[in-house]
Amino acid sequence: MTYTHHSDDELLAGLLESNPHAFEEIYRRYWYKLFGIAYHETGTREEAEELVHDLFEQLWNRRQQAVVRNLSTYLVVSIKYLTINYIKSKITHRKFQEYLIFSELQQSMVTDEAIYFTDLSKAVEEAMQKLPEKSVEIFKLSRFENQSVRDIARHMSLSEKAVEYHITKSLKVLREQLRAFQSDN
């Protein structure tokens, strides 16, 4: 029996009855949307896939206990909580603070995001040009390629303290240069 034409409420009823076909349809219907949310927050395919897998595993395992009134909302809120908890558990305190800063910057964008984003991108590029080449390289490895301080230090034949110095220096310059883009909230 195909479940593609069933409503979310019908699928939820099937899930409560431990119907694997209803669960499979929920999975097919929402996997990509949930993956997109998780990927947007984590930035990596593997972590996003793992988080979505964990959410569906929890949905199946807790199908009898969960109180779900709106399936789509429940799944979106659940993946956001899983993602936030994952980020908090996996990154250092400093990286979490930076995540919040960049998240606030993203949330402060309004309807004219395209123009604002272009201006911000130019400002970031200009700020990066004010840094020494080594600092830019280290910052990109750290923030854009998610390499650890230890790995960067080994790769560039530097001490970990030197790598941390370059990252801190880069963040300071970026904060100063991008002050105009920060929200007053």
Query: In whole angstroms, what is the distance from residue 172 CA to residue 40 CA?
Result: 25
Query: In whole angstroms, what is the distance from residue 16 CA to residue 55 CA?
Result: 16
pLDDT of residue 126: 82
The DSSP line for 39-62 is: HHHH--HHHHHHHHHHHHHHHHHT
Tens of pLDDT, residue by residue over 34-91, are 999 999 988 889 999 999 999 999 999 988 887 888 888 999 999 999 998 887 777 6
Tens of pLDDT, residue by residue over 91-129, are 666 666 677 777 776 665 544 565 666 777 788 788 788
Burial zone of 26 (CB within 10 Å; 0-12 exposed, 13-18 middle, 19+ buried): buried
**Domains located in the chain, CATH noted:** 8-90 (1.10.1740.10), 93-181 (1.10.10.10)
Buried/exposed code over 127-166 (b: 16+ C-beta within 10 A; e: otherwise) = bbeebeeebbebbebbbeeebebeebbeeeebeeebbbeb
pLDDT of residue 110: 47
Please choose, from the candidates 36, 50, 62, 53, the residue with its C-alpha nearest in 3D space to the C-alpha of residue 87. 50
Q: Is the pLDDT of residue 185 over 50?
A: no
Query: In whole angstroms, what is the distance from residue 41 CA to residue 139 CA?
Result: 20
Please choose, from the candidates 57, 100, 103, the residue with its C-alpha nearest in 3D space to the C-alpha of residue 78. 57
Tens of pLDDT, residue by residue over 76-87, are 999 999 998 887
114-123, 138-147, 148-157: least confident range: 114-123
Query: In whole angstroms, what is the distance from residue 151 CA to residue 132 CA?
Result: 20
